[in-house]
Structure 1
């Protein structure tokens, strides 16, 4: 249906190599850097391979308990945000669209803020329940706001994308006011947690926090490629997609639900990390073309690599202090977004 630029044919193998390198560096480098060889051997030992030579007890402890869950969390969050960005850009048929346009990010942030502040006010849930409760509340908030946006966009049995966009902007502002109210009600310790969470951070990553996101991420990564052909048809327009035999209204509902699920889980795990869902799909589309059969896997790999490298920079730039990763992605993404706007204008 769509041609692929010659430069995009080798893009997925190149992105796989970049992802492997970024993951390796994320395990080896930090305030206490490890030799690259030792970090690789320690990882292989943690995987169960009986390697001989060298005392790797310290490396295994650092990687297994701190850096491996953090790197895996960055990998999954980046991939999910990029995939959801592709879904929203396909839905709106606009390469400058973002999951936040329909209020998913703001709704998820509101749900997570409710879990953080409400849990503290009620004495706090058991530690093992916190990651699942946070994910559930973030997903419920993202899904609730998105469902309301979708409902407001319905008219005469059809969904108006322009109305959804306007409703998303209004409800995002309302959700921001709700987060401000929770910040006002929070005590000092909870306010600090909520503030750093709103800035986006992978600090405190753990396997308990990773599992809910990993389950959701696998579901999103398996489901969206199955709708690649339908997304390609939607690029031609809704009427054309219907004539080709696709159920457009059902596809819209599925894309909105999938985005709410993915972004809600990502926000619950890592806080507000902006511009990944905007910048990554757009860059990948420039290289591989608009065919979603290639765009979706390439965007997932690029998003995972980008967030791994951004987290590595956040840990190293101000070491031993740590720069919030959401701040770093905004510093990189906002100028690029302005460049895209100027490029489209001129």
Structure 2
């Protein structure tokens, strides 16, 4: 890596914005100028975005049936989009579910294989989070083996079974469409859901055993809808609450010292698309540690800039940089400090768009204006 340093930018340091040179050498931030100077006047220099949960990559890997023959190519294109949005670390939230299709075990295995081959070649730090359907108990051994083999560091439990309809003997909504996506007949799909539902009493002990089997892995739960549900997952060792659906669930998590992750699109829209609790409301009460892209990669940048209008840039940007880094245990990133990994982005304050992204000291994205400053 060739050392260089930015000059002229307003730099977001702990404590606020200051104008100071920031150097990059051997993939790390240094406080002194080094190598060639790059004029970043007119831009903000911000910590790279750490995305703790995003499934927008699905359209890169399977845009249409049979359209993506090489998942590795899709992941490489994904890295470019992430960098263009200032994301320097991304947790790719891959399902392992009875729902089939892109959420099925076969797709998950293929994605993990492609990721292992392609991720080390990218500047952006691509990582995988497995979203495990809690009732898919017979797959827990295979899931544990994949977590160990591919070094998955974050596992989150979902439960997408329509338990109320199943317990009442009613046909779940959208059954036919979901069955077709899974490659099953509606009758076979319903039978599978019923069989999984009947094993609900086994879920707690099986999840606890899986967590105990994988020391060093972070575990969380998705869509907690009550304090009781958060307590259930806490008791099993899942200590991160992703996208809680109610104020009560978020309060219960924070009261227990557990981090809450919310979706940045919720902030951008001003509300949950599904009518759940507002992310902005939780942030205003100090109940959110981090924002995630969820399904839209521009959202962390857009959401942080929206929040900055009321809470200031430093606090708002921490929700997409230092906050998620801390939740994920990544102590080497999330702030602009000497010695940390050189994950940075230059932001045009007039447009809110990214002019350049540096990930691990390497240029990951270069917009037209900054390209002329680098090479003109």
* TM-score, structure 1 as length reference: 0.23
Which of the pair has the greater relative contact order for Cα pairs under 8 Å at 6+ separation?
1
- Bigger strand share: 2
* TM-score, structure 2 as length reference: 0.22
- Bigger helix share: 1
Larger Rg: 2
